[in-house]
Structure 1
Amino acid sequence: MTMPTGRTSTAHHTADPPAGEPAIVATELVKTYGEVEALAGLSFTVPVGSVFGLLGPNGAGKSTTIKILTTLSRPTSGSAAVAGVDVLRRPDDVRRAIGVVTQGSGTDPMATGRENLLLAGRIHGMRGRTVRTRVDELLERFGLTEAARRVVRTYSGGMQRRLDVAMGLVHRPAVLFLDEPTTGLDPQARAEMWAEIARLAEHERLTVMLTTHYLEEADHLADDLLIVDRGRAVAQGSPEELKSELRGDAVVIELAPEADLALADAAIGGLAGAREVTVEGRTVRTRVDNGASAVPAVLAALERESVAVAAVTIARPALDDVYLRHTGRTFAAAEGGSR
């Protein structure tokens, strides 16, 4: 599911970019830590009112990007603006315009849910009825009203993450940064968080920047995606646009333990219509125009070379195929080898 970008709301935001300007602009961001280059010239633009996904394996540079955009770190070179404000020249103004939900919870586990939200509002200068009304609104929106008087250490993981997001929204920011918001959650809690983010995008004219290493999460939530690998942008577009660039079907062949990988690679690579052949471990992948009609030819070519096959599957293009096409490795392999 791709969320629509044309959202309207009467909600007041702390600060909005000037009319016609993007919510976020990053230009040639470079960040080095000694000899390690975390970002290598990353550039992108995020329209107002959209859910923008920064997708990449662990170590790709996603959190480094968020730290720069939220003024927690300075780039080695490059520039960025959030809500029309330069992050290096006016960091205090940027902080007033944004909400940030980091990977780790920012709540006080010994305080109640309501107390955490009230404190977050007061830190942003909200007082009296204004902050109490906003806290009540957020508790209801995130399904936390009944748990509002309980201390946070008694909350489930999903409840704690919903409270984290609510705290990031208490002052009505123009841009909300969600850094790996569902890491560590079980599948049910992750699905609930997806629903909350989707509802959030519908209810307020809010720009959401989401970093994730979950392919399904990016596909489900983002209007627009930037896929990053080793600190560089490798592809950008809506999930559907990125997948539609890949013609045909993916054929995935799991080879038997005794199979000769080189023979398998040569056999499939020599087939007419087989393209983008890759070998990873004991898995061979290729892209063909019609998977169902190509499988018999694939199996026949492997049999001629006496290459034993354990299983064959056919799949429509997915974001993992997009990543494979642009980087030469699957997302799972990148996760396993990330720094």
Structure 2
Amino acid sequence: MSELRFDGRVAVITGAGRGLGRAYALLLAARGCKVVVNDNGSATRGDAIVANPAQEVVDEIIAAGGQAIASTDSVALASGAAAMIQAAITAWGRIDIVIHNAGNVRYGPIADLSDADLDAVLEVHLKGGFYLVRAAFPHMVAQAYGRVVLTSSCSGLYGSQTTVNYGMSKAGLLGLNNVTALEGGAHGIRSNTIIPAAVTRMADGLDTSAYPPMEPELVAPMVAWLAHEDCTVSGEHFIAAAGRMARAFTTETKGVFRPDWTIEEVAADFAAIRDPEGERWTFPPYPSGMADHLGRSFEWAHRERAVPHG
């Protein structure tokens, strides 16, 4: 296969001053992409500015012969997301790729989590993703092309204790991805999520001594592929963890049909309703997941109701 390049493409990458985002920025830039390196330099909690890593990454890209500019705007603000998209338009006249990677974390069990700690995480991860997509969308529609990569997490798929704000945000980004794929499909816009695992500063305080190699560079090739023009899948969710690449699905059991139900019948059929070993239905969100989900259910209902039951 010939080398996959991004010549002529322009990307905005949030949280690109360190860790995963830095790896994405360096890889795309090395393959010819012009990059807005966004990072406001905040601590992991997102409540203090501690450095200016965006400019350091820009300097590294330029030293290697690439093109990049720094953005220190906050994606937690609609104005910040709009500013970084506008920076790409002002510098290079277009925006082709949006990778939302910026993140923060604040710990606390459900019963004790403060409103401030809930909002702080939702604003960066979930609302930040929305703000960024909303700002980029008109430009992508006008040029009939775009690639969006949103960062979810295994916490969004499965949950993790004492990080309900984080898990809610990451699960919400799965939903944002689905709708971005649906609304963007007719305009050449493709959207997917990355569910990465890497040892970065977000893992500070965790015991990682038993972990296999989990450098951000192991995740970057999947993100770069999802951002490439040759990748035409959309509305999907991809895992990159310790060298493993995979796809995550939402899957339904076939379930049980009755023309009417009582509580007792639900109880009696509950094992069959949730049967993990039986037939499964999987409906990719794009291009018609909701319609397929409803259509299959409606078809079964109409078929069963048309059959005489004696």
Shorter-chain TM range is: 0.3 to 0.5
Higher helix share: 2
TM-score, length-normalised on structure 2? 0.33
Taking CA–CA contacts closer than 8 Å with sequence separation of 6 or more, which of the two structures ends up with the larger relative contact order? 1
Larger Rg, first or second structure (1 or 2)? 1
TM-score, length-normalised on structure 1? 0.31
